[in-house]
């Protein structure tokens, strides 16, 4: 396991893994149980994890890309990298790196697939929601949230988007 080992961080890490494995749909109970086992979630934490994992069914379009680690280099280019949770393997000239929870594009209310698995079609909007499973009072509002801003920047540069909407989504019993 990487990073912080507090109960809250472990729960968040496990939920990010659920998100990474979604591939456009909700996971089975067996898949969720395997992730809970991997992160050693037991008792009440396990029960809360199952409830939150099921709440991740956020009506995200099936064309979405999940858990994408990117870096921006000094020349302004953006490329995929390996790593996560604040620790990335990046080129020496990297300015910033981060993991985008979800990317998807729409035209109006209609989901639009990425061209060649990456590029935004003309006249579409890129969405870069950041999933949160904790309390709103522990997260900076969207207009002051640098994680959301960096995700929007990295996503827009990587996909060639002409418009991007950052978002913070708190998961709950009704989705988010």
pLDDT confidence of residue 2: 39
pLDDT confidence of residue 51: 79
pLDDT confidence of residue 6: 58
How many Å apart are CA 97 and CA 110, to the nearest integer?
30
Torsion angle defined by CA atoms of residues 37, 38, 40 and 45, in that order, rounded to the nearest 10 degrees: -70
Question: Phi and psi for 15 in degrees, rounded to 5?
Answer: -70, -35
pLDDT confidence of residue 55: 72
Other beta carbons within 10 angstroms of residue 107's beta carbon come to 12
Integer angstrom CA distances of residue 141 from 38, 78, 126: 32, 26, 20
Q: Do the beta carbons of residue 151 and residue 100 sit within 8 Å?
A: yes
Strands 125-132 and 164-170: parallel
Which portions of the chain are predicted below pLDDT 70?
1-8, 23-25, 57, 172-176
Residue 79 CB contacts under 8 Å (≥ 6 apart), including other chains:
70, 71, 73, 158
């Amino acid at each position: 396991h990487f990073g912080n080992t507090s109960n809250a961080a472990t729960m968040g890490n496990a939920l990010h893994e659920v998100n990474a494995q979604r591939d456009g749909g909700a996971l089975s109970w067996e898949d969720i149980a395997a992730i809970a086992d991997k992160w050693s979630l037991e008792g009440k934490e396990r029960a809360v994890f199952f409830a939150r994992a099921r709440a991740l069914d956020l009506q995200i379009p099936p064309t979405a890309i999940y858990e994408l680690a990117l870096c921006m280099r000094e020349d302004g280019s953006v490329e995929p990298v390996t790593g996560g949770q604040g620790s990335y393997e990046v080129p020496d000239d990297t300015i910033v790196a981060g993991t985008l929870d979800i990317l998807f594009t729409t035209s109006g209310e209609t989901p639009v697939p990425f061209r060649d698995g990456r590029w935004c079609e003309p006249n579409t909007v890129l969405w870069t929601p950041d999933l949160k499973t904790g309390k709103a009072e522990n997260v900076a509002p969207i207009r002051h949230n640098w994680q959301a801003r960096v995700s929007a920047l990295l996503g827009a540069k990587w996909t060639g988007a002409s418009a991007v909407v950052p978002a913070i989504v708190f998961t709950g019993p009704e989705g988010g």
